[in-house]
Structure 1
Amino acid sequence: MAPEPRVIAPDLTAAKVATPSPHSDIYAVIDLGSNSFHMLMVKVVGGSVQVIGRVKRKVRLAAGLNDSLVLSHKAMKRGWECLALFAERLQDIPSQNIRIVGTATLRLARNVSSFLTEAEAILGQKVEVISGEDEARIIYLGVAHTSNSDSSRLVIDIGGASTEVVIGQGFSPKQLASLNMGCVTYLERYFSDQQLSEENFLAAIAAAEQQIQPIVSEFRQAGWQLAVGASGTVQAVQEMLVAQGKDEVITLQKLDDILQQVMACGQLPQLNLVGLAQERKQVFPSGLAILIALFRQLDIQGMTLSGGALREGILYSMLPQLQDANVRHRTVNSLMVRYFIDQQHAQRVAEMALELAAQLQSRWDLQKFEGLSMLRCSALLHELGLLIEYKNHHHHGAYIISHSDLPGFTRAQQQLLMALVHNHRAEIMPEVLARQTMTSVVLAVRLTRILRLAVILSMRRRHEALPQVSISAKAESLELVLPNGWLEQHPLMRAELEQEIQYQQQAGWQLSIN
């Protein structure tokens, strides 16, 4: 019998002896996970990272790990073939800008050296197999660098062969745990018959609860204010909720509803649910069972999706120049630089908007859902689309926000930011404001009205031209009061404010100017 052909890597010799790479601002992270292998490539642009490539392959390495913890040659070969694809993209990236890590399956496999020897030959790079505790710590940092919050938070990442659970605050993880359960191993163990039966789910959930039990007391005692999910399972659940017309906060009740939908499908090949992507179907039932167990044991009241995890944690550890503690601030600043926004004017509009908001705060609750922060960010970014053209720059800016990675903003916050920029001038489109998944539409409308007035009052683009104004609200009716004679001295501004009264009336909002 002829021997199996060896996986051939691209010839990296030329890359090694070539002159220093001009791509010193390009970085690559490879995550050899138990379910999928991922490669993330970014370029540092304008004080932030710009993703220039993502490659993901379902390798299901954990499926090749037997009861004796020996990794099959077939599973290793799947991994090597994937790495041969990755190796081609690494040739032009400086070696010091590349980091490759292996996680749970490679930690557990007794014959891991056999896999690593070939993997490192293919990649021309060292592979670092990290401990479960290190994985948990790095996952937390990935969440911290992509999510804006000063609150204590619980972070959960359900992987292919392990699940990491972390409590931390800011950039400091406090409690770390890596549990021996994952969506691939539980698929093989509890759903190998392809049946989505109540019996299989009960067995999987019970096994997961048993794994979680040893950490329950210390984690509940530590406590947290926010719960964040950083895994494919959590993303799949959130995508389903939004596609089915619900908000993006995951609760145990919603998980139980999804469980009933899954069991109604009967068998894994027939798993077709609204919002569930094809690529996630295979390991979704096992991941769902683990997530339900975590919610039950840790008494999680609600969870949202993180913008990053392991790969982002590794990436930002290589980028000390991007260690800004305020992730949202870093993101907004980067957009302002990349799209040549007039920063002085943007700050002027933001100050005017916050001044108006402060006067209205006693009547309008604008702090809910971080409304004041969203108002400030929308003011700073309201001219984002000017680089494209003036007439429809509010539409262009909204498009850029809607289709950009915005670390520090949740999906719902990004949706609100887009709606505010879209409606900061010209004719108001209430249907855009109505597309809120978490933020109330009332808050979105109130913030829009404040932003529009701030833009008009700052239109001369000079600090000394800003009027002293007062604003008050009676229910949803606004009254703006300007100094005596000011409108007569500023006929263009008067015309703009009179037009604004018309725009707001068309949207069903009452505005008066005195």
Structure 2
Amino acid sequence: MSQQSGEPATPRAADPRGSWRAVIDIGTNSVLLLIARWHGDDLEIALDQATITRLGKGVAASGVLAPESIARTLAVLKQYRETAERHGATPLAVTTEGVRLASNRDDFLTPAAAVLGAPVRLLSGAEEAELSYRSVAQELGPTTALRVLDIGGGSTELAVGEGERLISSVSHPIGAVRLFERFVTQDPPAPSEVAQIEKTALETLQRGQPLDPEPVLTGLAGTVTTAAAMLLGLTQYDREQVDGSTFTIDQVRDLRDRAARVTVAERCQIWPTLEPARADVIVAGMTILLAAMQHCGATSLAVRDRGLRYALIERE
């Protein structure tokens, strides 16, 4: 499934100055393509697209990437390279936790490099956290007590800083796909399964850096932006409405509880912006979000439709 935001996805002619930059973020659940360029301090977005391929399906348990997951992801990378080239851009590709966990990572990285025409950079957890933080901080400028949460399919990064100064960051081995596969056996999940996800997420987060309470947590990535679209009651995903929206922890918990009481099929009917390929793991993702808000002492969630791909768009 694919989600697009920003400017219309109609391919643009290659820019004669060659200034468009393309970044591909290959995650455990989704593959994202950002094509953008800087004009001074303003970032112009040509395309921001996400396609769910679930590259890391089962990898936390098996330790290997499945051939069918690799094939799905390579097909999307081929499409993304063609799209980037139509904009006159050569994509920079990075990948994260799902591939870090895999003993057969070269079975993906080697053909992916061939498809893209360049090696895929395997990020560390620390690099993930830093890039996620920078993607927000570079736009907000001088602020205080910025906390950035990036919930992925295989890991969750929590970064703490002040303005553009990163103070500390941790990559935690919890993610929406990872905890769904570990704990959920029913549709809808049993209350005990949801409670176990929350307990595991909170205990894992608490093994990281101790934090003083801070009222606002800034959230990134598919779980958070999807939850925002659901809370806004959107019938079609709209980046302009999602980006910058804020919600209380009670609103997030109420949404999680409502989603947990219905089946995957019913979730897609109730919330039109919830993609079928994400609908099974969304409860686990929102439960990680709730645990993170508790861990940070946050009463409010600030949503940003950004992510580490934004920090990798180089300035001229």
TM-score (norm. length: structure 1): 0.53
One of 252, 269, 291 as aligned partner of 2:265: 269
Code of the aligned partner of 2:248? T
Q: Is the 8 A contact 1:241 1:248 kept in 2?
A: no
Distance in structure 2 (CA, Å) of the matches to 1:103 and 1:194:
28
Counterpart of 2:256 in structure 1 is: 259
Q: Structure 1 residue 290: deviation in Å? A: 0.9
Q: Structure 1 residue 80: deviation in Å? A: 1.0
Code of the aligned partner of 1:166? A
Q: Can you list the C-alpha shifts for 1:76-104, whole angstroms capped at 9, x where unaligned?
A: 11111111111212335667x63210011
Q: Is the 8 A contact 1:26 1:41 kept in 2?
A: yes
Structure 1 residue ranges without an equivalent (≥5) = 1-19, 322-514
Instruction: Name the CA shift for 1:23/1:34 in 2 (closer, same or farther; >3 Å).
Output: farther
Distance in structure 1 (CA, Å) of the matches to 2:81 and 2:186:
36
Counterpart of 1:306 in structure 2 is: 304
Counterpart of 1:54 in structure 2 is: 48
Q: Can you list the C-alpha shifts for 1:447-498, whole angstroms capped at 9, x where unaligned?
A: xxxxxxxxxxxxxxxxxxxxxxxxxxxxxxxxxxxxxxxxxxxxxxxxxxxx
Q: Is the 8 A contact 1:146 1:306 kept in 2?
A: no
Equivalent position SS for 2:61: coil
Code of the aligned partner of 1:103? T
Counterpart of 2:217 in structure 1 is: 227
Code of the aligned partner of 1:175? S
- Alignment of 1:177 onto 2:175: no
Distance in structure 1 (CA, Å) of the matches to 2:105 and 2:132:
23
Counterpart of 2:104 in structure 1 is: 111
Counterpart of 2:274 in structure 1 is: 278
Q: Is the 8 A contact 1:87 1:123 kept in 2?
A: yes
Percent identity, aligned pairs only, is 25
Distance in structure 1 (CA, Å) of the matches to 2:305 and 2:249:
21
Q: Structure 1 residue 264: deviation in Å? A: 3.1
Q: Structure 1 residue 148: deviation in Å? A: 4.9
Code of the aligned partner of 2:26? L
Distance in structure 2 (CA, Å) of the matches to 1:85 and 1:64:
25
Distance in structure 2 (CA, Å) of the matches to 1:243 and 1:128:
37
Q: Can you list the C-alpha shifts for 1:40-94, whole angstroms capped at 9, x where unaligned?
A: 1114457632211233211111214152411111111111111111121233566
Code of the aligned partner of 2:258? Q
Equivalent position SS for 2:119: coil
Structure 2 residue ranges without an equivalent (≥5) = 1-13, 235-243
- Alignment of 1:67 onto 2:61: yes
- Alignment of 1:131 onto 2:131: no
Q: Is the 8 A contact 1:39 1:55 kept in 2?
A: yes
Larger Rg: 1
Distance in structure 1 (CA, Å) of the matches to 2:180 and 2:301:
23
Distance in structure 2 (CA, Å) of the matches to 1:261 and 1:226:
23
One of 52, 56, 72 as aligned partner of 1:78: 72
Q: Structure 1 residue 237: deviation in Å? A: 2.6
Q: Which has the higher contact order (CA 8 A, sep 6+)?
A: 2
Counterpart of 1:239 in structure 2 is: 229
Distance in structure 1 (CA, Å) of the matches to 2:229 and 2:218:
15
Distance in structure 2 (CA, Å) of the matches to 1:310 and 1:192:
32
Q: 1:455-466 alignment to 2 at 5 Å?
A: none
Deviates further, 273-282 or 184-193: 273-282
Higher helix proportion: 1
Code of the aligned partner of 1:59? T
Counterpart of 1:27 in structure 2 is: 21
Counterpart of 2:184 in structure 1 is: 191
Q: Is the 8 A contact 2:252 2:290 kept in 1?
A: yes
Q: Is the 8 A contact 1:241 1:275 kept in 2?
A: no
Distance in structure 1 (CA, Å) of the matches to 2:130 and 2:40:
28
Instruction: Name the CA shift for 1:252/1:225 in 2 (closer, same or farther; >3 Å).
Output: closer
One of 292, 296, 303 as aligned partner of 2:290: 292
Q: RMSD of the TM alignment (CA)?
A: 2.5
Distance in structure 1 (CA, Å) of the matches to 2:55 and 2:225:
21
Equivalent position SS for 2:48: strand
Counterpart of 1:439 in structure 2 is: none
- Alignment of 1:152 onto 2:148: no
Distance in structure 2 (CA, Å) of the matches to 1:46 and 1:148:
14
- Alignment of 1:201 onto 2:194: yes
Q: Is the 8 A contact 1:167 1:224 kept in 2?
A: no
Instruction: Name the CA shift for 1:104/1:131 in 2 (closer, same or farther; >3 Å).
Output: same
Code of the aligned partner of 1:256? R
Higher strand proportion: 2
Instruction: Name the CA shift for 1:207/1:160 in 2 (closer, same or farther; >3 Å).
Output: same
Distance in structure 2 (CA, Å) of the matches to 1:253 and 1:304:
14
Instruction: Name the CA shift for 1:54/1:165 in 2 (closer, same or farther; >3 Å).
Output: same
Q: Can you list the C-alpha shifts for 1:141-184, whole angstroms capped at 9, x where unaligned?
A: 00112335511111101001000001011111111000001111
Distance in structure 2 (CA, Å) of the matches to 1:277 and 1:192:
24
